[in-house]
Amino acid sequence: MRLSAYFLPTLKETPAEAQIVSHRLMLRAGMVRQSSAGIYSWLPLGFRVLKNIERIVREEQDAAGCQEILMPTIQPADLWRESGRYDDYGPEMLRITDRHERDMLYGPTNEEQITDIFRHSVRSYRELPKLLYHIQWKFRDEVRPRFGVMRGREFLMKDSYSFDVDKPGAMRAYNKMFIAYLRTFERMGLKAIPMRAESGPIGGDTSHEFLILADTGESEVACHRDFIDADLVASDIDYEGDLQHLVDGFTDKYAATDDERDPAKEKELGDALVIARGIEVGHIFYFGTKYSKSMGAVVAGPDGEETALEMGSYGIGVSRLVGAIIEASHDDAGIIWPESVAPFKVGLLNLKTDDDGCVAACDDIYAKLRGAGVEVLYDDRPERAGVKFADMDLIGLPWQLVVGPRGLKSGTVEVKERKTGERPEMPLETALAQLTA
């Protein structure tokens, strides 16, 4: 993409309304634009990141045996009356009346809807287990939407739902999601620590939140220092095998969100205790038969008796992750995207657009990189070098290929790695080989 043609409305000034760094940088880098409180439009650069995060989430859900569906945003109130949550949910639910005076709502989550789908289509334990997910916009009328996309009113969530005939089956599904979440966040360059959590209005008795530690986190959390020091990678997973020991390896160590903290245990930990602020990027729940009982979602068991489905639900804050990744990865100059979610891999900077030789060389490099399938943002604007450097640092692409007439004379270019700031000069061919590898 040529920057001269790209829609990238960057801001010079720091927007006064943004309290945290990710919000400031997302506005300055022209990634989003607020429509109303807690509701955002995604502009090209931001949308590319959102799609990359979505893709990683999808790949890891698919790998864990979860099947993608798509449920609507607008739901009938009657389903929520069946579960009892229409009254329980309170003012966070956006309630709508259609032209026939029917009560509808903009879904804050989808347990009722998926339970309704399931009860109409699955009759026998032989059709279980099943894991289904969708990636869909949610609406929660938060009292205090803030921090940009981190606590929005409209936000994109991946939510999965598991259906099993008994509790051991439900725990197998829970463990699959537990491990899939570790892998998902790890691929985005994040260390998301699984912590014991309260289950809140969704209900249930086993729940973990996945949190990234950051000063701007909304809640105070505590965990064993091992989580900070060690890698949280779960590799080579056989999702059909027994994952319990793997999950236990994580849950055996102390890690708790604010409601679940245990002063006695924390005292025991002594120096091994870390208290920090955390950003919740994922949340998994086992809630048993809470919805299946109230909504009559039953299957015939092996003995022919009807039993209520054992269920769990599993959420990832896809749009929140855009902000969370920036919180975890930035410097004074701007964003530092991990390559896996970066909007483009390479920024190509032509330092002298009124020099024919420089233009020809850059056009050629641009064509070669694109030909090799590399995503490039080509700064071909007639701007000063300083402006180009600042903009590239702000938008945080992992690699900058800097081309100027002086280097070209000897056939060299500069390759700057955004993360380290190192900018070695090298022959053009070496640079191309490195960036297309």
Interface residue list for ligand ADP (CB under 6 A): 109, 140, 142, 151-152, 155, 157, 200, 280-283, 315, 317, 319-320
What count of Cα atoms within 13 Å lies in the side-chain half-sphere of residue 31?
27
Query: Looking at the DSSP assignment, which residues form a beta bridge with residue 402?
Result: 349, 414
Contacted by 107, from ligand ADP, Mg ion, none: CB < 5 to 8 Å by type:
none
Tokens of 264: 């006695």
**Residues recorded for the chain:** 437
Give the DSSP letter of residue 96: E
3-state secondary structure of 310: strand
What count of Cα atoms within 13 Å lies in the side-chain half-sphere of residue 398?
16
What is the closest distance, in whole angstroms, from the C-beta atom of residue 14 to ligand ADP in the complex?
Answer: 23
Instruction: Give the separation between CA 266 and CA 270, rounded to whole angstroms.
Output: 7
What is the closest distance, in whole angstroms, from the C-beta atom of residue 334 to ligand ADP in the complex?
Answer: 23
Please choose, out of 88-96, 112-120, 223-231, 279-287, the segment that lies near Mg ion by the rule CB under 5 A: 279-287
Contact 148, 321 (CB under 8 A): no
What is the closest distance, in whole angstroms, from the C-beta atom of residue 329 to Mg ion in the complex?
Answer: 23
Q: Which residue is nearest to ligand ADP (CB)?
A: 317
What is the closest distance, in whole angstroms, from the C-beta atom of residue 69 to ligand ADP in the complex?
Answer: 18
Instruction: Give the separation between CA 411 and CA 431, rounded to whole angstroms.
Output: 11
Our CB check for ligand ADP shows the closer of 142 and 266 to be: 142
3-state secondary structure of 206: strand
Contacted by 142, from Mg ion, ligand ADP, none: CB < 5 to 8 Å by type:
ligand ADP
Residue owning tokens 């056989």: 238
Residue owning tokens 């590898």: 437
Our CB check for ligand ADP shows the closer of 182 and 281 to be: 281
Contacted by 183, from ligand ADP, Mg ion, none: CB < 5 to 8 Å by type:
none
345: contact with Mg ion by CB under 5 A: no
What is the closest distance, in whole angstroms, from the C-beta atom of residue 315 to ligand ADP in the complex?
Answer: 3
What is the closest distance, in whole angstroms, from the C-beta atom of residue 320 to ligand ADP in the complex?
Answer: 4
Our CB check for Mg ion shows the closer of 287 and 389 to be: 287
Tokens of 381: 């604007």
Our CB check for ligand ADP shows the closer of 328 and 435 to be: 328
Q: Which residue is nearest to Mg ion (CB)?
A: 283
Please choose, out of 33-41, 281-289, 378-386, 419-427, the segment that lies near Mg ion by the rule CB under 5 A: 281-289
Our CB check for ligand ADP shows the closer of 157 and 170 to be: 157
Contact 79, 72 (CB under 8 A): no
> Going by DSSP bridges, is the β-strand pair 130-139/306-308 parallel, antiparallel, or unpaired?
unpaired
Contacted by 355, from Mg ion, ligand ADP, none: CB < 5 to 8 Å by type:
none
Contacted by 288, from ligand ADP, Mg ion, none: CB < 5 to 8 Å by type:
none
Our CB check for Mg ion shows the closer of 150 and 402 to be: 150
Interface with Mg ion in residues 293-312 (CB under 5 A): none
Q: How many residues bind to Mg ion according to rule CB under 5 A?
A: 1
Residues 6 or more apart in contact with residue 7 via CB below 8 angstroms? 30, 43, 44
Our CB check for ligand ADP shows the closer of 6 and 86 to be: 86
Our CB check for Mg ion shows the closer of 185 and 399 to be: 185
What is the closest distance, in whole angstroms, from the C-beta atom of residue 283 to Mg ion in the complex?
Answer: 4
Strands (E), 9-129: 32-36, 39-42, 67-68, 74-76, 94-97, 103-106
167: exposed, middle or buried (Cβ count in 10 Å: 0-12, 13-18, 19+): middle
Residues 6 or more apart in contact with residue 262 via CB below 8 angstroms? 254, 256
What is the closest distance, in whole angstroms, from the C-beta atom of residue 317 to ligand ADP in the complex?
Answer: 2
In the list 140, 208, 283, 345, the residue contacting Mg ion (rule: CB under 5 A) is 283
Our CB check for Mg ion shows the closer of 159 and 393 to be: 159
Q: What is the number of other CB atoms lying within 10 angstroms of the CB of residue 37?
A: 12
Residues engaged in binding Mg ion (CB under 5 A): 283
